[in-house]
Amino acid sequence: MTTRGALEGLTVIETAERVSGEYTGKLLADLGAEVVKVERPGGAPSRAMGPFAAGESTLFAYLNTNKKSVVLDLADGADRKVLDRLLARAHALIDDHDEGWCRAMGLTPERVSRAHPALVHALVTPFGQDAPESWQGARPINVIAAGGWAYHSPSETPADKPPLKGAGRFLSDYEAGIDAALAAMASLLRLRREGRGQFIDISEVDVQLNRIDCVLGRMLAGEAEPSDARTAYDMGGPGTSFACRDGHVFLLMTSRAHWQGLCALMGNPAWTRELREDWLEFDCTPPNVARFREHFTGWIAGQDKHPVTEAAQKAGVPMVPVQTANDLPHHEQFIHRGFFQQAVHPAFGEVSYPTAAYRMSATPVAVKAAAPRLGADQEDVLDAAS
């Protein structure tokens, strides 16, 4: 039985050309909205971004499921009028360009609001509106650094290591896309109730600051003293990644119960008696942390990551396997939840797509169509807008 998407009946125009805006549009499309991707002649920049398979961008393939594609040169007067016709029948516009581009294309928040007052307009930029224009060319690594994540994530980073970008090269884009989609959906609900659109100004750096972790929160609350030292953000315990026989595990311990569970898991070796039972709470000194890591490193090196972490969790010890991309589609919990969905891509054949972290009983998220070929929907979409 074919199910309707939660946002079915809503039309979204996407002029975005960075991952942040494209991911916003993807989230709305996967929830059932008709998302029309407006691409420049030659195609969106993400079509040329790796990694590649069978000559196609896998990044583009992921970011553009369930969308339609039309090609418009927005610097051309006739094509710009076509965009206005599309916006006149749409409910939302998703964009992620800087202010200079928006002025040149007549897509500033002020001009869009005057021309289309009943339109939800979401604009995702690195620092939000009214920031210096030179800042708006920032890349994800700049945003991650400006938001503090590159400095303190992951915790326990050695002092001689440089700041990190975080998980993946587009972490800040994906995080901002989630907030943009959420704000857009809330605004679409208001549009349905009141018939009025609004402008949504998303700052990628603000999103990073919004995701502050517990350690940074303690500093802001005055419970911990801020410092320029890398270790100022550390939990101060023995937790970190450890190499095992077939990969890595990540261990976090903070209490006596965690320590007792781990000792039992290891068979209570003699070296564990060198540490107090409550050392994690009252004697977690650098020498004790170093002593623990030295002994534990040798033991965990002989273990396989999935069996040992399953046994650890049953013993109440916060230890998890560090999953690789190859591990994830075969993980029994993700299989049980149907997190990866099979769909046919014209170049790749049948592939597994990651979907959403939530399951909706009446309107499930579904990958119904692969990313479109360039201009695949030109005739149908433009005929509907004429």
Specify whether the CB–CB gap between 329 and 352 falls below 8 A. yes
* DSSP-derived 3-state class of residue 358: coil
CATH superfamily of the domain spanning 11-210+338-385 = Crotonobetainyl-coa:carnitine coa-transferase; domain 1 (3.40.50.10540)
Res 353: pLDDT = 92
At 152, the pLDDT band (50, 70, 90 cuts) reads low
Digit-coded pLDDT (tens) for 70-119: 999 999 999 999 999 999 999 999 999 999 999 999 999 999 999 999 99
pTM exceeds 0.85, yes or no = yes
Residue 200 has pLDDT above 90, yes or no: yes
Separate counts of helices (H) and strands (E) for the chain: 16, 13
177 burial via Cβ count (<10 Å: 0-12, 13-18, 19+):
buried
Residue, of 224 and 206, whose pLDDT is higher:
206
Residue with tokens 């749409």: 90
- The overall longest dimension of the chain from CA atoms, in Å, is 80
Res 384: pLDDT = 86
* CATH fold group of domain 238-321: formyl-coa transferase, domain 3 (3.30.1540)
**Beta-sheet pairing, 319-321 with 67-71:** unpaired
Task: Give the residue range(s) of CATH 3.40.50.10540 domains in the chain.
Answer: 11-210+338-385
Which of 21-25, 56-60, 147-151 comes out lowest in average pLDDT? 147-151
Residue, of 219 and 378, whose pLDDT is higher:
378
Res 2: pLDDT = 64
74 burial via Cβ count (<10 Å: 0-12, 13-18, 19+):
middle
Digit-coded pLDDT (tens) for 246-273: 999 999 899 999 999 999 999 999 999 9
At 165, the pLDDT band (50, 70, 90 cuts) reads low
Task: Give the residue range(s) of CATH 3.30.1540.10 domains in the chain.
Answer: 238-321
Residue, of 149 and 235, whose pLDDT is higher:
149
Instruction: Write out the two tokens for 341.
Output: 């969905």
Residue 233 has pLDDT above 70, yes or no: no
Res 159: pLDDT = 67
Which of 11-15, 179-183, 213-217, 321-325 comes out lowest in average pLDDT? 213-217
> Percent of the chain having pLDDT more than 90?
74
Res 155: pLDDT = 60
Res 370: pLDDT = 94
At 16, the pLDDT band (50, 70, 90 cuts) reads very high
Digit-coded pLDDT (tens) for 306-331: 999 999 999 999 999 999 988 999 88
Strand blocks (E) in 245-348: 247-251, 319-321, 340-345
Res 293: pLDDT = 94
> Which sign, positive or negative, has the C-alpha torsion 140, 144, 150, 153?
negative
| Residue 137: how many other CB atoms lie within 10 Å | 10
Phi–psi pair at 346, nearest 5 degrees: -60, -25
Measure the CA–CA gap between 361 and 357, rounded to whole angstroms: 13
Res 215: pLDDT = 63
Specify whether the CB–CB gap between 210 and 149 falls below 8 A. no
Q: Kindly write down the DSSP assignment for every residue of 263-286, as one continuous string.
A: HHHTT--GGGGGS-TTHHHH---H
* DSSP-derived 3-state class of residue 315: coil
